Amino acid sequence: DRQLEALISMAGRYHEQLPEAESMIRDMGYGAMFDAMKEKAQPPREETPRKLALLETVTFAEPRQVGKRVYDDQKFYLSLKQQVESGNRLSDNQLTYLDRLVMKYGDQIENFEDVAKELKLEQSAEAPDETSGGVLELMGAITTWAEPTQRGKRTWDDHEFYQSLKSQFQTKKRLSDRQLAALKKMAARYADQMPGYEEKQEALKLPPPKVKKK
């Protein structure tokens, strides 16, 4: 609960002065939470303020909506900046997204190639998600989509889901593993409308075409 998290957070912040507390917390089975809090309590990494400074003068893209979620680069940047200026360290996940943001606006940063090498931004950037792009491109041939279905209070719409992931990929150049798995499962139901599905099945690791019930 929140009280326990607050106590572990305090113990993480003052772990050097509370060695017995660390041992007790680990014995209770909260070692992972303690390590996370201890990491969070550390000061910002030396290179983080510089990465943020690189984005101070860029012109950010307009906020974009993917499905029901709005992605706002400037708002995200300001949030990270405030966190660092407050003396808090970014999580590994936040740092990864910061690196992606710097790479995204590299064309507006002076001497970016040299800066990227110095900050090792190329190493932090993920490899292109070629599989998601291949599946989405293949599904572009679908002309007849199943009608939306209602399950409880939720509406399932294959076409809307596809368009949402396509828009996300165009912006972020990748899908999550869960999103890609769901996309592939859906693609199998429309295999008969996609020329070359079976030829690309192995390369894209697509499931076998799903036979429609007659």
The alpha carbons of the chain give a radius of gyration, in whole angstroms, of 23
Cα→Cα distances 155→133, 142, 147, Å: 26, 20, 10
Return d(Cα 139, Cα 146) in angstroms, integer.
Answer: 14
CB 77 within 8 A of CB 101: yes
- Asked if the model's pLDDT at residue 10 lies above 70, the reply is no
- Give the mean pLDDT of the chain: 82
Residue with tokens 């708002």: 75
Mean pLDDT of 104-126: 81
Q: DSSP assignment, residue 155?
A: E
Is-contact 171 64, C-beta < 8 A?
yes
Domain ranges within the chain, ordered by starting residue:
2-40, 48-124, 130-204
pLDDT of residue 121: 80
For residue 200, give every residue at least 6 positions away whose Cβ sits within 8 Å of its Cβ, in sequence order, or none: 134, 138, 206
Residues 6+ positions from 144 with CB-CB distance below 8 Å: 193
Q: Which has more pLDDT, 12 or 183?
A: 183
Q: Where are the beta strands (DSSP E) in 116-172?
A: 149-151, 154-156
**Which is more confidently placed, 190 or 69?**
190
Asked if residue 83 lies in contact with residue 90, where contact means CB atoms within 8 angstroms, the answer is yes
d(CA 6, CA 187): 46
pLDDT in tens, 29-86: 766 766 666 666 677 888 999 999 999 999 998 987 755 677 899 999 999 999 999 8
